[in-house]
Amino acid sequence: MRLEQELERYKKWYYGPRADHLRSGGEVAQMLLDFAGDLDRKPVHAEDVTAAAEPVEELRRVKYACPACESLGGNPAIETAAKPEAPIDKGLAGPGLLAYIVTSKFSDYLPLYQMEDIFTRQGFEISRPTQSVWCGDVADLVEPLYKLMAERVRSSHVVATDDTILPMLSPGKAAKARMWVYVGDQKNPYNIFDFTLNRGRDGPKYFFKDYREVLPADAYAGYNGVVAGNEITRAGCWAHVHRKFVEAEKSSPEIARKVVGLVRALYAVERQAQSLAPAERRRFWRA
């Protein structure tokens, strides 16, 4: 069935300027209506609702005219109610639908092709290319928020970082791109993700260009260039140390097991101090 038949419709009226705001004081009459439909939905899982519960918000914009203006020798005065601002200029999707798609893809790890199938079962089509374009549009829309979060993370006393391989489609075969994560401290509890085409130091060096505090990371040599010539204090990562000695147990079990035991003891102290405030935690560690 057609989208209009399947989905519940909600009407919002926009009545525009009052009569005394027109350019002429003559008689004012309503001329016609402009119609525009915005597909929207609440950000809930698509499997939890029926197709009939999906709302389409129908916008009705009222136009007014001054019939007396032309007869009195003036230009016709026509005013239309302004259309409410949309997340995507001239886009069909409302904010709820956009939030649902982005949350499903990046928080719930639902691929867009599965989202396409879910929407199809509910009686309407939103293709993968369309969803992909919308995700890009949302990224542009929230970029100021992303920059603010990055600034907050860089204001942290400690910023932890790591990277992982992110396969990227390219001619011939998938390229090994990188996704970096930067984790702020308790005062700035944000996770910032940054995509680069390779594992070169340029990505983290650019992110930390104004940073002057503590940077815990693995032993990747690229961080040497990140902290060179500035006030950043580079700290090691116990998780990576622990992993290397676990791997070394195969060749030197006695030495490796001793170090692994020491690291586990440190982890136990960390767990005990996890719920403490930063100042109390430092006192606990020193004790």
pLDDT in tens, 45-93: 444 444 444 455 666 777 777 767 766 666 666 777 777 788 888 888 8
Evaluate if residue 169 carries a pLDDT over 90: no
Write down the pLDDT at residue 142.
94
- CA-based nearest residue to 214, from 185, 188, 245: 185
Domains of the chain: 3-146 (no CATH), 155-236 (3.30.420.10), 238-287 (no CATH)
Residues in contact with 279: Cβ distance below 8 Å, sequence separation at least 6, in sequence order? none
Token duo for residue 85: 């601002």
Per-residue model confidence as pLDDT tens digits over 188-246: 999 999 999 999 989 999 999 989 999 999 989 889 889 988 999 999 888 888 888 99
Token duo for residue 57: 């918000």
Kindly indicate the confidence band of residue 10, based on its pLDDT and cuts at 50, 70 and 90: very low
pTM of the full structure: 0.69
Question: CB atoms < 10 A from the CB of 58, how many?
Answer: 15
Write down the pLDDT at residue 40.
63
Widest pairwise Cα distance in the chain:
103
Write down the pLDDT at residue 179.
94
Q: How far is Cα 137 from Cα 250, in angstroms, rounded to an integer?
A: 50
Q: How far is Cα 249 from Cα 150, in angstroms, rounded to an integer?
A: 39
**129 against 29, higher pLDDT:** 129
**C-beta of residue 243 within 8 angstroms of C-beta of residue 267:** no
Q: Which residues pair with 175 in a beta bridge?
A: 168
Q: Tell me the C-alpha to C-alpha distance, in Å, between residue 118 and each of 5, 44, 87, 193, 221.
A: 18, 13, 23, 28, 45
